[in-house]
Amino acid sequence: MRIGFIGMGNMAQAMAAGFIYSGKIDGTDVYAFAPHQDKLKANAGKIGFVPAPTVKALVQSVDTVIIACKPYQIEEVLKGAAPDLEGKALVSVAAGWGYDNYEAILGKKVRIQCIMPNTPSMVGEGVLLFENKNSLTDNEKSEIIDLFSCLGLVEEIPSELMGIGGAISGCGPAFMDMIMESYADAAVKYGIPRTLAYKLIAQTMLGSAKLELQSGSHPGALKDAVCSPGGTTIRGVAALEKAGLRGACIDCIDAIMNK
* All domains of the chain in start order, with CATH: 3-169 (3.40.50.720), 173-257 (1.10.3730.10)
By C-alpha distance, which of 99, 103, 101 is closest to 115?
Answer: 99
Cα–Cα distance measured from residue 3 to residue 33, given in angstroms and rounded to the nearest whole number:
11
167-201 as b/e: b if 16+ CB within 10 A: bbbbebeeeeeeebeebbeebeeeebeeeebbeeb
CB 67 within 8 A of CB 94: yes
Cα–Cα distance measured from residue 49 to residue 51, given in angstroms and rounded to the nearest whole number:
6
Residue-level pLDDT at 259: 77
Whole-prediction pTM:
0.90
Q: Tens place of pLDDT for every residue, the chain, 259 residues?
A: 899 999 999 889 999 999 999 999 999 999 999 999 999 999 999 999 999 999 999 999 999 999 999 889 999 888 888 889 999 999 999 988 999 999 999 988 899 999 999 989 988 999 999 999 999 999 999 999 999 999 999 999 999 999 999 999 999 999 999 999 999 999 999 999 999 999 999 999 999 999 999 999 999 999 999 999 999 999 999 999 999 999 999 999 999 999 7
